[in-house]
Structure 1
Amino acid sequence: MAEITIYSATVCPYAHRSRLVLLEKGIDFELIEIDLQNKPAGFTEISPYGKVPVIKHGDVRVWESAIINEYLDEVFPEPSLLPKEPVNRAQARIWIDFANTRFIWAYSNLLRSPDPQQQKAAAQELYSQLEFIEKEGLEKLSGEGSYWFGNSISLVDLTFYPWFERWSALEHYRGFGLPPEFTRLQQWRKAVSQRESVKAIANPTEYYIQRYARFAAPIAKKVSDELSVAGKLTLEQLQQAAQQGFKSVLNLRSPDEPGFLSDEQQQAQAAGLDYANIPLQSSEPDLISTKEAIRATENLPKPILIHCAAGARAGGIALIATAIQQGLTYEQIQEKAQQVDLDLNQPHLQQFLLENYTAKQETES
């Protein structure tokens, strides 16, 4: 019977870290793959944060990858993956914290930023983090060895490496390759990639390019500087929306629609987003709900991400709100809809156009 059970997801770099530690230590483990887009019922009873990785060791549960890895290193001390000297152990923990709070944030910010100007600034920030790793980390600590602390692999190496295996996605979507001038970093990446533990669970570059498309592509269509629209959102995309600078989410779906997230409000607020849910039927115009949705676009903090099942209702409300705010003519509304590829045949939008433009045009004629 396996000593450890790990709940993991192949696409997740955090879970990748802990699987590498298990393999490096030769620990017998049972792997349970979790579909992060369709988590099993009761998963939060195993993982209180609803995330991977989580390990079970007897009656003990541990979550959060950095904590899991130190736990494994203490409970299964050979081979040790932290330096023996206290000062070097402190250095290792500093670099693990740097990975979690600076490097990963810079990597993710570049991949997820939808705006070219934001991408330029994010690329500069990531370059600075790589330069810091090269000069303050590898040049000063690795000596003549291939790894962070010389000739022996450590938790620091395993903490950083999953993002470097995924670098193909960053290069594909943002044109940001690993800078060749960082020679120690290049050598380190090559050395770690040749480890048997790494090769045992490595994925091809195309795998990450395909799986990371949803992060790199914009999650929404921008109708104005204040309003964007999208189809139904996953919890992951709610977090992504917050990272992309949205301040609020307006959900036009009804709780009885398939796939409605019962805890969307709590998840949105946890990500720092204001939230409103105003159900709007897709089949027929609803003047009361339409007016309520328009009021929400006026009152919620901007920019707002409006979403529904496929984005049509959201597009209709965004166009109405934009037309009211900017005083658009009927021709300008048509032009705006064409620019952002939105459907003018939404019942709510048609009702608005009928009441505000058709009657007016007939009077003028």
Structure 2
Amino acid sequence: MALSTRSRTVLTLYSARDCVHCHRIRLILAAKGVAYELVLVDPAKPPEDLIDLNPYHSVPTLIDRDLVLYETGVVAEYLDERYPHPPLMPIDPLSRARLRLAVARLEKDWLPLVEQCAGNSKNAEAARKRLRDDILAALPLFKASKFFLNPEMSLADCALAPLIWRLSSLGVSLPKEAHAIQDYGERIFRNPGFARSLTPDEKLLRD
């Protein structure tokens, strides 16, 4: 997953400084070894060029020559097809469908809880509890394979690892018996490519 210079095409990625969705795309780019220009923006005050490029003014937004892409899942699959080595999806249709379904579950059930965990309100505490319970319920999946539902790193890991990285900063603590989840995270976090995917703000999310 280490970043390299084997791809000379320079993409432009508009990204927030701390965003689980933007981090997902930066991790894919690191895994692919793709060079790109990173433009850090405040999503609450998008710059004029982003407003012109993306009707939703959202991040991540990817520019590849004349192509403008937004919506995280669309950007993720485009990058895996545009830069096929190393592949981040298995070859067989069954395994691909299984991983796509896992990503869809993450997007619908887990990732929306990240923003809800902010603050000290009752709603935030409820979001932390739900996220913790949901992750613990998936513990057998973390034990089943080296990576999430797959022997090799995939797009599902690129969506999940940024969430695991943020757990402590979200106030979500896992019990000792969930060491398989911690071990899963550390396998990815130790890779130099993961470190390169982090913004300075995201590096501060863990001690």
Whole-angstrom distance in 2 between the partners of 1:201 and 1:79 = 17
Deviation sequence 1:32-77 (CA, Å, 0-9, x none): 2212343212422212211111111121111111210111111111
The aligned counterpart of 1:8 is 15
Whole-angstrom distance in 2 between the partners of 1:119 and 1:9 = 22
Deviation sequence 1:83-118 (CA, Å, 0-9, x none): 112111011111111111101123433335612xx4
- 1:10 alignment partner, SS class: coil
Q: Is the 8 A contact 2:17 2:201 kept in 1?
A: no
Q: Does 1:207 align with 2:204?
A: yes
Higher RCO by CA contacts (8 Å cutoff, separation 6 or greater): 2
Whole-angstrom distance in 2 between the partners of 1:157 and 1:179 = 22
TM-score, normalised on structure 2? 0.84
> Alignment partner for residue 26 of structure 1, among 33, 51, 55?
33
Q: Is the 8 A contact 2:18 2:202 kept in 1?
A: no
- 1:87 alignment partner, SS class: helix
- 1:51 alignment partner, SS class: coil
Gaps of 5+ in 1: 210-365
> Alignment partner for residue 178 of structure 2, among 178, 182, 196?
182
Gaps of 5+ in 2: 1-7
TM-score, normalised on structure 1? 0.50
Aligned in 2, Cα 1:59/1:36: closer, same or farther, shift over 3 Å?
Answer: same
Deviation sequence 1:241-286 (CA, Å, 0-9, x none): xxxxxxxxxxxxxxxxxxxxxxxxxxxxxxxxxxxxxxxxxxxxxx
Map 1:1-365 → 2, pairs under 5 A: 2-112=9-119, 114-115=121-122, 118-135=123-140, 137-140=141-144, 142=145, 145=146, 147-171=147-171, 176-202=172-198, 203=200, 207-208=204-205
Whole-angstrom distance in 2 between the partners of 1:97 and 1:87 = 15
Whole-angstrom distance in 1 between the partners of 2:106 and 2:84 = 23
- 1:181 alignment partner, SS class: helix
- 1:28 alignment partner, SS class: strand
Instruction: Specify the code of the residue in structure 1 equivalent to 2:127.
Output: A
Q: Which runs of 4+ in 1 moved over 6 A?
A: none
Whole-angstrom distance in 2 between the partners of 1:87 and 1:113 = 42
- 1:77 alignment partner, SS class: coil
- 1:192 alignment partner, SS class: helix
The aligned counterpart of 2:3 is none
Aligned in 2, Cα 1:32/1:194: closer, same or farther, shift over 3 Å?
Answer: same
Q: Is the 8 A contact 2:128 2:170 kept in 1?
A: no
Q: Is the 8 A contact 1:2 1:30 kept in 2?
A: no
Bigger radius of gyration: 1
Per-residue deviation, 1:138: 2.1
Whole-angstrom distance in 1 between the partners of 2:81 and 2:60 = 18
Per-residue deviation, 1:152: 1.6
Aligned in 2, Cα 1:31/1:110: closer, same or farther, shift over 3 Å?
Answer: closer
Whole-angstrom distance in 2 between the partners of 1:5 and 1:119 = 34
The aligned counterpart of 1:356 is none
Whole-angstrom distance in 1 between the partners of 2:98 and 2:115 = 24
Number of aligned positions between the proteins: 198
Instruction: Specify the code of the residue in structure 2 equivalent to 1:183.
Output: H
Per-residue deviation, 1:155: 0.7
